[in-house]
Amino acid sequence: MNSSRDYIIDKAYELFLQKSYEGVSISDISEAVGMTKGALYHHFTNKEDLFKAVIDKYLVFPDVRVDVENTPLYRFNEIVVDEIHRMLRNMFAPNVTFIPIHYITMISDALRHYPGFKEDKERYIEEKASVIRQIIESAVNRKEIRSDVNTETLARLYLSIAMGLAGNLIIKNYSVDESIALLREQINQIYQLLKV
C-alpha cells in the first residue's frame, strides 16, 4: 500500500469517527487530506470504497493462531489478552480525541454501509468459539483444568468477557490499559476456578 493511500485512510478514519459515515462528504475528506477530489478518486472509487478501507484497517478483530492441541489454556489466555491489547492500541492510537461511543457508531455504520461486514463478524465469532472450545477440550484432556465443565458454554463465556471489554471502554470510560487489566484479571480468575 502506498503512503498517499494510507494517509487518506488515516485521515478518513478520524473524520468517520468524529462525524459518522453520513456526516462526512468526499469534500470533507478532500479538504482534510489536502488533495483534490480527482486525486482521491485515483485511490478510491467512492466514499463507500474508502469507508471499507478504513474498516478493514481499523476494525480488525484479533486473529490468534495457536496449536490447539499443545497450547496450555493459561498461555492461550495470555496470548489473547496481548493480541486484544495490540488491536485496541492500533484502533485508538491515531485518534487524538478518543470518545469511545464513536467506535460504536462506526460499527453501526459498517453494518449499514459495508456489505458482508455483519456476516464476516458472525463467522469470526463462530470460528473463535470453536477454537476456544478446542483449547478448553485439550486442557481438559491434559488434566490442566477440571473435566466437569461444559466446553461450549465456557467458550461462549470467554467470548462474552472479551466483548464486555467494549462496555468498559464505552460505558465506564476506562482507558485501554484499565480495560485490558480488567480483562486479564477476569480471565485469570476463571482459569483459577477451572484448574485442577
Percent of the chain with pLDDT strictly greater than 70: 94
Residue boundaries of the structural domains of the chain: 3-57, 60-194
Q: According to the model, what pLDDT value does residue 98 have?
A: 58
pTM of the entire structure?
0.79
Tell me the per-residue pLDDT of 66-125, one tens digit each, with 9 for 90 and over. Answer: 898 899 999 999 999 998 888 888 777 665 555 667 888 888 999 999 999 999 989 988
Q: According to the model, what pLDDT value does residue 52 have?
A: 96
Reduced to 3 states, what is the DSSP secondary structure of residue 63? Answer: coil
**CATH fold of the domain at 3-57:** Arc Repressor Mutant, subunit A (1.10.10)
Tell me the per-residue pLDDT of 117-170, one tens digit each, with 9 for 90 and over. Answer: 999 989 988 998 999 999 999 999 999 999 999 999 999 999 888 887 777 777
To the nearest whole number, what is the mean pLDDT of the chain?
89
Q: According to the model, what pLDDT value does residue 144 have?
A: 96
Q: Which of 171, 8, 4, 1 is nearest to 94 (CA)?
A: 8
Q: According to the model, what pLDDT value does residue 177 have?
A: 85
Q: According to the model, what pLDDT value does residue 65 have?
A: 84
**CATH fold of the domain at 60-194:** Tetracycline Repressor; domain 2 (1.10.357)
Cell numbers found for residue 126: 463462530
Q: According to the model, what pLDDT value does residue 172 have?
A: 74
Is residue 1 pLDDT above 60, yes or no?
no
Q: According to the model, what pLDDT value does residue 2 have?
A: 67
Q: Which of 152, 141, 157 is nearest to 193 (CA)?
A: 157
- Report the Cα–Cα distance between both ends of the chain, in Å, rounded: 49
Q: According to the model, what pLDDT value does residue 164 have?
A: 78
Q: According to the model, what pLDDT value does residue 94 have?
A: 60
